[in-house]
Chain A
């Protein structure tokens, strides 16, 4: 095999490697689905972000329209500041609300955007004012138990008198 043949084979080998990389990046990973190229930034402050992670999806009516870019703590209000990168083709009214929701019972958390009815739209860098924090399962359970206990406590006092009543 001559020098040219070897060079052609090596060229093929490298080309095959590039095709493999392209396959891994575009078909088997998320490079194609949403890149930060044409997007704008929105901010949302939550009292509790729960298990929200960076790169979690932002959905409106279940359709993914963006990603969480970063999560930081506001040192003054002690709220979690979530920066959202939203697809430029989608705009939301100024009074839209953001909620942290969970996919399924134990699934990953994502941000759900509910459009409002305002005439004006949110622009780049605006803050979503109406937010609802993540539901933390522990606090939900403790609230439930507390309510149960309170119910049992309020139900308990009336019960002793009836046995006492016939004694008289």
Chain B
């Protein structure tokens, strides 16, 4: 195979897999109305994806809040601006860290379990068996998980930011002794509900769509072997994380280009 042919074959392969993923996404969207009629399935999945991710999200949020407050205090106290600490913690959490770190953790905690579950279902031919019984596995298995991921991710991101700010409050106000009134009032005067909080939630929603879709797609397209499931799970984490980081830059450029 000459190099030119190899380049062409590679390009075609990338385009083919992109098109395949796009078609899968459209089919997933078409299966959503049917899964809404059986909402109990979605509730069970929200429990599996959302509730069970709660502990790691809250622990990480608290740790990020602690560390941010401590490090920012050392830097800011030099300029006599220690009261602005709450504002910086709030903006960095609500705008960036909340959605992004939650997205990364979500890919690791919930995405992998989705991929492994769907992958093993496929390897055990359960999806094929469902189709034989005239049950559409997309509306019965995939769409409820997709919906649950989209619902859970913004809630988790909100909780991450909220607990992070509370963590910063604990370190800055209770341990170090920054004035509590200034801590909250500077935050309230500079953080805008629509520009900052709402845009952060939009971000987390987009990341929820990305992470859940990648996990389901990788699970659904896995090779039906133990190695295949292992590769698919790894790819889920790598692709979701890279997509979240890349998309975060694009969204930040769109949302916060004007100060």
- Residue picked from A12, A29, A30, most chain B C-beta under 10 Å: A29
Q: Please name all residues of chain B whose beta carbon is closer than 8 Å to the beta carbon of A53 when the two chains form the complex.
A: 259
Chain B proximity mask over A15-40: 1 for CB below 8 Å, otherwise 0: 01100110111011111110000000
**Residue A55 CB within 8 A of the other chain:** yes
Besides A3-B40, A20-B162, A29-B196, 11 other A-B contacts (C-beta < 8 A): A7-B43, A13-B152, A14-B155, A16-B155, A24-B162, A24-B197, A25-B193, A27-B188, A28-B197, A30-B188, A30-B190
For residue B51, CB closer than 8 A to chain A, the reply is: yes
Q: Are the C-beta atoms of A33 and B161 separated by less than 8 Å?
A: no
Cβ contact within 8 Å between A9 and B193: no
In Å, the complex CA distance between A3 and B39 comes to: 12
Q: How far is the CA of A14 from the CA of B197 in the complex (A)?
A: 18
- 25 A-B residue pairs with Cβ-Cβ distance under 8 Å, sorted by A, are A6-B43, A13-B51, A13-B54, A14-B46, A14-B155, A16-B54, A17-B156, A17-B158, A17-B159, A20-B155, A20-B161, A20-B162, A23-B162, A24-B162, A25-B193, A27-B184, A28-B165, A28-B197, A29-B94, A29-B193, A29-B197, A30-B190, A32-B188, A33-B188, A33-B189
CB distance from A7 to the nearest CB of B (A): 6
Q: Tell me whether B155 and A17 are in contact (CB under 8 A).
A: yes
Tell me if B112 counts as interface (CB < 8 A to partner A).
no
Closest 4 CB pairs of A and B: A17-B155, A20-B162, A29-B191, A20-B158
- CB pair A10–B43 under 8 Å, yes or no, is yes
Contact A28 B191 (CB under 8 A): yes
Interface on A for B, CB 8 Å cutoff? 3, 6-7, 9-10, 12-14, 16-17, 20-21, 23-25, 27-33, 53, 55, 57
A13-B155, A31-B193 as given contacts; A6 in contact with B44, CB under 8 Å: yes
On whether A6 and B47 interact (CB within 8 A), knowing A13-B54, A29-B196, A30-B188, the answer reads yes
Which bucket holds chain B's interface residue count? 20 to 34
Does residue B143 face the partner (Cβ distance < 8 Å to A)? no
- Chain B interface residues (CB < 8 Å from chain A): 40, 43-44, 46-47, 50-51, 54, 90, 94, 152, 154-156, 158-159, 161-163, 165, 184, 187-193, 196-197, 201, 259
Bound complex: CA A142 to CA B212 (Å): 59
Q: What are the residues of chain A within 8 A of B158 when measuring CB–CB? A: 17, 20-21, 24
A108 nearest CB across to chain B (Å): 9
CB atoms of A30 and B191 under 8 A apart: yes
| Chain A residues with CB under 8 A of B155 | 13-14, 16-17, 20
Cα(A3)–Cα(B54), bound, Å: 20
Point out the residues of chain B lying under 8 angstroms from A12, CB to CB. Answer: 51
Inter-chain contact A30/B193, CB cutoff 8 Å? yes
Q: Which residues does chain B contribute within 8 Å of A23, judged by CB atoms?
A: 162, 165
CB distance from B89 to the nearest CB of A (A): 10
Give the complex CA separation of A28 and B158 in angstroms. Answer: 12
A14 to B162, CA, bound (A): 14
Contacts of A16 in B (CB 8 A): 54, 155, 159
Q: Known contacts A27-B184, A29-B193: does B159 contact A10 (CB below 8 Å)? A: no
Contact status A24-B94, CB under 8 Å? yes
Task: Given A10-B43, A20-B161, verify A28-B51 contact (CB < 8 Å).
Answer: no
| Residues B51 and A30 in contact, CB atoms below 8 Å apart | no
A6-B47, A10-B43, A20-B158 known; A28-B90 Cβ under 8 A: yes
In the complex, what residues of A have CB within 8 A of residue B156's CB?
Answer: 17
- Contacting pair A28 B187 (CB below 8 A): yes
Residue of A nearest to B151 (CB): A14
In Å, the complex CA distance between A16 and B61 comes to: 15
